[in-house]
Amino acid sequence: MRQCPVCGSRFSNDARFCPYDGEPMSVIDESAGPGLVGQLIAGRYQVESVLGEGGMGVVYRAVHAALGKTVALKVLRNDMAHDEVVAQRFVQEAKALSRIQHPHVVEVYDFGRTAEGVTYFVMEYLEGRSLRDAIRDDSLSPRDIRRIAKAIAEGLSAAHSAGVIHRDLKPENIHLVRRDGDSSFVKILDFGVAKVAGVSKLTRNGAIFGTPHYMSPEQAQGLAVDVRSDIYSYGIILYEMITGRLPFDSDSFVRLLSQQMFDAPPAMELSPEMRDLGSLEPIVMKCLEKKSEDRYRGFDAVIEALERAEAKTSSRTVVMIALAAGVLAAAGLGAAAWALIGSSQSTAETVRAAAPSSAEPTPATPVRAEPAKAEIDEHPVQTATAVREPSMVTIESDPPGAAVSLDGIVLGITPVTVPRPYDGSKMLQVELDGRPPKVFALDSHGPDRLLVRLPSPRPRPTRPVTTTAPKTTTTPTTTAPKPAEPTPTTSRRMGREVVDPWGE
């Protein structure tokens, strides 16, 4: 396990930064969660062993005492149980999952709180491996990747239709199980930071949720998110499945968020085994657009694009088989030609029989084809070019401790290192409480260190001294005296006490 040294949150061993405060995680060696192994929860769930631990809860393997059915029991951690917001978010995860009924989303059976105050919910028990393990082992074929990509999109489409935005998509939260002869059947897990339609108290704007390597630009800025934030995270997962590496990576939390907000993803470098997936690159790049309005409108559009890309790739395969058969026939190898033609017809029938569901018949072994661009949408999609490393600049201030923001996005407190824009300029503001801010343009080139001297705090304006007329008693037969004119001495005293707050 790893633990944040600042807030104390614990996560799996793959976590590098705390999603709550951005601090690097440190490795800890302690047993997971409350000691529930061997206990009977709610009078019906016998806890057998620990399966894993996350930021909020511990997941146990348990058996229903009456039915003998193995289940996964997720329990709120003891050190989190007294945090009202965390407890509400734990309950929200159970409710979010219960709203989604789809084969590719983990199913929730039960939810409750024991007499001892243990909050829990019960899910289906999944045997298999995480998508993270599959990527690390490099064991996914192009056909596996296509099926997994489509299954994830179908599950998230169902979640969005139920009003649930995941907000923390990553390979660790996608499980691959064996189901109906498919060894890579997708199950989407861990809706712990999900945003549920109609629930706003736990998902306020300005709070950053998610995992930095898979975080959308709007998440990185703490802005409100919609379904297109999940589409961005999905694009990063596709990129990683196909290439084996992340599009954005850094040992600095601030630099990583900066990449998500400003940097274009590098072009996908395909290994010879993955060249058949070249038609997916425009889809990935459209998912990774920095502006949410430039991405797909929803996962239904993503699924349509995936199906068109697969059909186009399969058609190219059929054509190449036919051409190869013609060459063999011309060379007098009739039997081999007829074998290839039969394979071509089988492949064509597989393409025509493909249904929108994730269960597909096993196609014939494809002949490798060069990557082809798929027609994704009515709007053309441009493949991103390789990205050069931006130059960095360290911002210091006198006095230190000033907030630094770039185009309105707060990047840190001085001294802080920020990336320069690739082209043009961006507005950099350095501000310290009580002092006028300094605003200037940060260009793509310049020194690697800038010292910003902030002016002294503005003096508070004093209230001017006024002279009031003395009170007099009036009678019907007398006239009130005129107020006395201020003396020259009083005028000079007022001049000394009145200060122009905006003067230099």
Second CATH level (architecture) for the domain 128-305: Orthogonal Bundle (1.10)
Identify the CATH number of the domain defined by range 31-124.
3.30.200.20
Query: How many alpha carbons fall within 13 Å on the CB side of residue 145?
Result: 28
| Residue 83, pLDDT score | 75
| Residue 294, pLDDT score | 96
| Residue 237, pLDDT score | 98
* Gyration radius from the chain CA atoms: 32
Which residues neighbour 90 within 8 Å (Cβ) at sequence distance 6 or greater?
A: 56, 57, 76, 80, 119, 192
**Where are any strands of DSSP class E within 191-281?**
195-196
Reduced 3-state DSSP string for 106-140: CCEEEEEECCCCCEEEEEECCCEEEHHHHHHHCCC
Residue with tokens 């196609």: 363
Query: How many alpha carbons fall within 13 Å on the CB side of residue 191?
Result: 29
CA distance 73 to 31: 17
| Residue 56, pLDDT score | 72
| Residue 431, pLDDT score | 87
| Residue 473, pLDDT score | 52
Supply φ then ψ for residue 202, to 5 degrees: -95, -5
Reduced 3-state DSSP string for 6-74: CCCCEECCCCCECCCCCCECEECCCCCCCCCCCCEECCCEEEEEEEEECCCEEEEEEEECCCCCEEEEE
Active site residue 144: no
pTM of this prediction? 0.62
Which residues neighbour 478 within 8 Å (Cβ) at sequence distance 6 or greater?
A: none
What are the residue ranges spanned by the domains of the chain? 31-124, 128-305, 392-453
Q: pLDDT tens digits for the chain (504 residues)?
A: 566 766 666 555 556 666 555 667 666 544 444 478 999 999 999 999 998 877 678 899 999 999 999 999 999 877 777 777 777 878 877 888 888 989 999 998 998 888 888 888 899 999 999 999 999 999 899 999 999 999 999 999 999 998 889 888 999 999 999 998 888 999 999 875 555 554 444 444 445 556 889 999 998 888 889 999 999 999 999 999 999 999 999 888 888 989 999 999 999 999 999 998 999 999 999 999 999 999 999 999 999 999 999 988 765 555 555 555 555 455 555 555 445 455 555 444 444 444 444 444 444 444 444 444 444 444 444 344 444 556 788 889 888 888 888 777 777 788 888 888 767 788 888 888 778 888 888 888 888 888 988 888 766 655 655 555 555 555 555 555 555 555 444 444 444 444 444 444
What does the CA dihedral 317, 321, 327, 328 come to, rounded to 10 degrees? 150
| Residue 417, pLDDT score | 84
| Residue 194, pLDDT score | 55
443 strand-pairing partners? 425
| Residue 378, pLDDT score | 45
Out of 168, 190, 230, 263, which one is annotated catalytic? 168
